[in-house]
Every structure is written in C-alpha cells, then in structure tokens.
Amino acid sequence: MNPEHEAAVEVAQHLHSIEEFQRDVEPAIVAARNEFLTEDTIMGLFANDSINELWPGQSPLYTLLSRSYFFSETDADRLRDVYDAKLKPLGFTFSEKRTPEMV
C-alpha cells in the first residue's frame, strides 16, 4: 500500500458511515448552503461532483469531491450565525480574514 493510500485509510477510520452522513450531516450542510447561496449572493459554480474509488487493500475507499460554490456576502454576522447553528455542531471550523474592504 502506498503512503497516500495508507494515510487515506487512517483518515477513513474516523469518518462517519454513509448512513449517518445522509441522516445527520448532509441535511445540515445543505441547509447551510441554502442560506449562504441565494440569487443575490451567488457568483459562480465550478466543477461537478465526482466520486473516486481507491483500492488500498481488500476493500475500496471512496473519496468525494463536490462542486465549488463561490458567493459574496456582506453580512459577516449572518455568516457566523448560520455557521454556529448548522455547521459548528458537526465539527466544521470557521476562519475569517479581515481587510478594510472585505471580511
């Protein structure tokens, strides 16, 4: 097994099952996305979803790459509120960079 696959297997051991993801995680991500992305804020969508299959051992390991969304939001407090309510409980981390023109 090459080192990249070995590292992926190690990470996979700490991930949610597909059933748990579909039941608990995905609905929260979609709900947050629907609050972040509106007709007024969306700037672009790039790439499509794809699933890759690796065979580092006896069973397959799947990786999901999802579409990239670019949006512009001027209310940083709104972003923090949506993050705190929907994504923070799932273990996501929030980071921000402030400049005089942009948050």
**All residues at 6 or more sequence positions from 19 whose CB lies less than 8 Å from its CB, including other chains:** none
What's the burial of 91, exposed, middle or buried (CB within 10 Å: 0-12/13-18/19+)? exposed
Say what the pLDDT of residue 5 is: 75
Q: What is the pLDDT of residue 83?
A: 93
Determine the pLDDT at residue 81. Answer: 94
* pLDDT reported for residue 103: 57
In a structure prediction context, what are the per-residue pLDDT tens digits for the chain, which is 103 residues long?
777 777 877 877 777 778 888 898 889 999 998 998 888 888 888 888 888 887 777 778 788 788 888 888 888 888 899 999 999 998 889 887 777 776 5
Q: For the chain, which residues make up each domain, given as ranges?
A: 3-90
Q: What's the residue count for the chain?
A: 103
